[in-house]
Structures are given as C-alpha cells and as structure tokens.
C-alpha cells in the first residue's frame, strides 16, 4: 500500500512539474513574440502654473558645425533662466529654412522624409532651471556615412507644458532657440555667391545715418558666410569712413538670397529714434519718431555733399577667397542747418540794407 501511494505521489509531482515547464515555455514563447518598447521619459511638470511668460537666454545664437561622413560632432549651448521662479524645460528640434530677405529663418516640423532629425541628441532633453541658473547642454550629431552637404536644425527650448513645438512657417524672432548648421564634408560641395544688389535706402539724406543694403545670392549647394567692408569717399577726401559688413557672421543658405543691412552714422549731426522714459516714441500709425542729436566731439565731421561707397565683400569657395565688389553714391544735404545759417547771415545784411536805404532817403 505504501509503495502504491509513493507511485501516485511521484506521478503527481511529475505531472505538476511538466505543467509548470509547459507554462514556463509558453510564457517565454509569448514574451519572445512581443516587441520590447523603451518608455519615454516622464515629463517634468511644475506643481503650479508659471506666474509669467518664459524668459530664457540661449548662447550662442547659432552653431556652425563641420564633420566628415560617419563622424560625430559635438558642441554646447547654454540656457539661462532669467525669471525669479524655477522653469521646467524640454528641448525640441525642428528644421529651418531662409525667409524672404534671409535675416530671420522660418522653422517648421520635420517630415517623414527628414531622416536627419534622428542624428541629433542632447545630454539632457528635460531639466529644471532655478532662478538665474545657467545649464550647459551637450549637442551631438551623428551623421551616417552616406550623408553629405548641409543640414539645418532649430534647437528650441520650451516649457514641458508647451504642447506645440512650433507653428508651421513661424519666424524665429527672439525665441528661445539656437540654429545649428551642419556641413558634412563632400567633394561635391559647390560654394558660390553672387552680389545681387548694393544700394542705399534713399538717394538724399538730411543727416546721417545712411542705410546700406547688400543683397547676396547663394547659387551653390552649401551655406556660406560672407564678410567684408564698405569704404566711403567724399568729394574732397578718400576713405573718410569704413564700415564692417556681416559682423554677426550670418549665413546665406543654398538657393536663397539674403539682405545684409549696415549703417554709417559717424557724424556731427545724426538722426536717432526719439525716446521717452527709455521707450521709443511712436506716431499714431505706429511709426518710429526721430530726433536730431549733435555730438560736438565730432564737430570736424559735419557731413554735407556727395559721397561714394565702395563695397568689398569676400567669401571662401573652398580653395581661396573670392571678392564681390559694388559701388553706390548718395547725398547728405542738411537743408535746415543751411537755411538757418543763411537766415543768420542774411538777416543782419537785410537790416543794414534797409537802414542805409532809409537813411539815404532821409538825407535826400
């Protein structure tokens, strides 16, 4: 009897073990058929709604990065919280292209065809910044071996509660963003820039500043940074003034035009925006009002007459510096000062003339 009980007990244990092994194999099989997903980081959410708008400073304003195909490149950006409360922040990315005039880029969401959105990564994609705290973020881009020429990113810092990354076609204007221009070295790179126009905002000025506009077109396939100077001659002297162009080292993207604006204001009399309490005074239609300021330390720089400006701008075509040259003339005629001087000189002469005529007539 005891032997029979042992046989049944052994059979039960074997059956139970077989069932457990079968269930275990089934579990393993089911697990192997499932896709393992990496969970997204839990969003950092503030306990209270921020009392005011976001106020950040990002530096630098843009990154110019160069690397070889298949080789990663790393840089850094700094984010500073200017508010007096903590900010819960995230980093979003988008692409950008040149807007009309090229000075303010347009940013837009990536499309499914933009695989280069997956090349960029950050040391921290979400973080908290205390009041006046600055954080350094590492930016790494890993292009594949088949990559070549230019890729253009907008690195945008938003609050974690901000749902929309960027409106389609929005302009970057003082937003918390850094533009990153990546060049992947290629033997097919074509660097070519053309000077489309060099002009002043008008032909006649009463006072300085004179506003110059330089329009350059990139007819190549990679972004270019032009630089140079404007040399100004008067009717009597050569090179009485020199102005640097594109000091901010702005890029001209392939297939686009960009307008570079620069002013010449080295003068005794200069028109400047009118201010009241640190704020610019505007008219009924929103136009800026101006006033004339006189700098007596520059009394020897009273500008009047015809002036000629000579532009010399250069860019690197990958082998040597290529010059772009242009010339424009303009006039400075301070007619109010001229009229005032005329009346100051003429009035005593008229008075003397009238007095002498009256006296001569009286004697007769």
Question: Tens digit of pLDDT for each residue in 269-320?
Answer: 999 988 888 888 888 888 888 899 999 999 999 999 999 999 999 999 999 9
Q: Are residues 229 and 321 in the same domain?
A: yes
- Regarding whether 175 and 255 lie in a shared domain, the answer is no
Within a domain: residue 70?
yes
Q: What is the CATH number for 282?
A: 2.60.40.10
Q: Which of 219, 233, 202 is nearest to 327 (CA)?
A: 233
pLDDT at 172: 41
Q: Are residues 176 and 209 in the same domain?
A: no
| Residue 69 and residue 121 in one domain | yes
Domain for residue 24, yes or no? Answer: no
**Do 268 and 302 touch, CB atoms closer than 8 A?**
yes
Q: Per residue in 11-33, pLDDT tens?
A: 444 444 444 444 444 443 443 34
Print the domain residue range for 242: 193-341
Number of domains making up the chain:
2
- pLDDT of res. 163: 65
Same domain? 179 vs 61: yes
- Shared domain check, 127 and 247: no
CB of 259 within 8 A of CB of 101?
A: yes
Q: What is the pTM of this model?
A: 0.77
Q: Is the pLDDT of residue 169 over 70?
A: no
Centre a 10 Å sphere on the Cβ of residue 39 and count the other Cβ atoms it contains. 5
pLDDT at residue 34 greater than cutoff 60: no
pLDDT of 6 over the 80 cut: no
158 and 207 fall within a common domain: no
The per-residue DSSP string of 111-144 comes to -TT-GGGGSEEES-SEEEE-TT-EEEEEEEE---
Please write the tens of the pLDDT for every residue from 192-222.
Answer: 999 999 999 999 999 999 999 999 999 999 9
């Amino acid at each position: 009897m005891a032997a029979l009980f042992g046989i049944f007990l052994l059979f039960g244990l074997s059956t139970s073990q077989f069932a457990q092994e079968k269930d275990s194999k089934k579990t393993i099989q089911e697990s192997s058929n499932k896709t393992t997903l990496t969970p997204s980081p839990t969003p950092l959410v503030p306990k209270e709604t921020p009392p005011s708008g976001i106020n950040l400073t990002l530096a630098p304003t843009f990154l110019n990065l160069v690397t070889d195909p298949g080789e990663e490149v790393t840089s850094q950006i700094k984010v500073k919280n200017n508010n007096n409360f903590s900010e819960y922040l995230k980093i979003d990315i988008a692409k950008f292209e040149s807007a009309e005039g090229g000075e303010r880029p347009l940013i837009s969401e990536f499309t499914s065809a933009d695989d280069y959105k997956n090349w960029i990564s950050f040391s921290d994609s979400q973080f908290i910044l205390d009041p006046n705290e600055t954080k350094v973020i590492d930016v790494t881009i890993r292009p594949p071996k088949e990559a070549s020429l230019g890729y253009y990113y907008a690195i945008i810092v938003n609050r974690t509660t901000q749902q929309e990354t960027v409106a389609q076609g929005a302009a970057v204007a003082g937003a918390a963003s850094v533009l990153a221009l990546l060049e992947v070295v290629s033997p097919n790179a074509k660097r070519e820039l053309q000077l489309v126009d060099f002009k002043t905002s008008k032909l006649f000025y009463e006072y300085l500043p004179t506003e110059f506009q330089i329009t350059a077109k990139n007819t190549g396939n990679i972004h270019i940074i032009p630089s140079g100077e404007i040399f100004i001659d008067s009717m009597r002297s050569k090179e009485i003034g020199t102005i640097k162009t594109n000091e901010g080292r702005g890029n001209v993207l392939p297939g686009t035009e960009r307008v570079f604006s620069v002013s010449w204001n080295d003068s005794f009399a200069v028109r400047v925006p009118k201010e009241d309490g640190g704020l610019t005074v505007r008219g009924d239609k929103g136009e800026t009002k101006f006033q004339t300021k006189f700098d007596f330390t520059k009394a020897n720089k009273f500008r009047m007459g015809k002036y000629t400006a000579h532009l010399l701008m250069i860019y690197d075509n990958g082998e040597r510096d290529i010059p772009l040259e242009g010339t424009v003339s303009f006039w400075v005629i301070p007619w109010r000062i001229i009229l005032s001087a005329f009346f100051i000189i003429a009035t005593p002469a008229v008075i003397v003339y009238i007095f002498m005529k009256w006296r001569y007539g009286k004697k007769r």
